[in-house]
């Protein structure tokens, strides 16, 4: 069995963790800081997770992130947000819909398919129209 390398915290890390676990504007970062602060105070990973209300796997992810990137890594979220296929056709669709706004979402679906060949359902078209036409 591999031995676990203990986490080491500098004094300025401890100070930052103590401050940002309450004061950081993003509550997700606050939670990460809370878990690492508990670990810096000598709590086990299991106990830190229990006190912070997160799973053991989440604690392990936070620790791995801290080991890899330090405090800046705890503040960063690398979410991948999917981009609608309709965005690729926005330059063609936007002038068309501004010139002749669709009366219904069903009409917009038909016009989008005729202009681009892309078939999307009501929810996606409605969101696209809201973004394009405001």
CA distances for 15 relative to 21, 41, 119, 125, angstroms = 10, 11, 54, 48
| Contact predicate 69/55, CB 8 Å | no
Given this model, what pLDDT does residue 77 score? 85
Given this model, what pLDDT does residue 3 score? 64
Given this model, what pLDDT does residue 2 score? 58
Kindly give, in sequence order, each residue whose CB lies less than 8 Å from that of residue 29, ignoring residues fewer than 6 positions away.
Answer: 20, 74, 75
Query: Domains of the chain: which residue ranges?
Result: 11-75, 85-133
Given this model, what pLDDT does residue 1 score? 54
How does 62-75 read in b/e, with b if 16+ C-beta sit within 10 Å? bbebbeeeebeebb
Given this model, what pLDDT does residue 78 score? 81
Statement: the pTM of the whole predicted model exceeds 0.85: no
Kindly give, in sequence order, each residue whose CB lies less than 8 Å from that of residue 115, ignoring residues fewer than 6 positions away.
Answer: 89, 92, 93, 96
Between CA 69 and CA 32 the distance in angstroms is 13
Given this model, what pLDDT does residue 114 score? 94
Per-residue pLDDT tens digits of the chain, which is 134 residues long: 556 778 899 999 999 999 999 999 999 999 999 999 999 999 999 999 999 999 999 999 999 999 999 999 999 988 778 888 999 999 999 999 999 999 999 999 999 999 999 999 999 999 999 988 88
């Amino acid at each position: 069995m591999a031995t676990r390398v203990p986490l080491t915290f500098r004094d300025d890390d401890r100070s930052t963790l103590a401050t940002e676990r309450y004061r950081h504007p993003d509550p997700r970062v606050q939670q990460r800081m809370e878990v690492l602060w508990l670990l810096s105070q000598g709590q086990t990973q299991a106990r830190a997770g229990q006190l912070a209300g997160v799973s053991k796997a989440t604690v392990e992810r936070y620790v791995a992130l801290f080991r890899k990137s330090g405090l800046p890594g705890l503040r960063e979220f690398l979410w991948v947000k999917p981009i609608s296929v309709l965005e690729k056709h926005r330059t063609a669709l936007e002038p068309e819909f501004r010139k002749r706004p669709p009366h219904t979402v069903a009409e917009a679906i038909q016009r989008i398919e005729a202009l681009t060949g892309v078939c999307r359902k009501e929810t996606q078209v409605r969101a696209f129209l809201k973004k394009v036409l405001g």
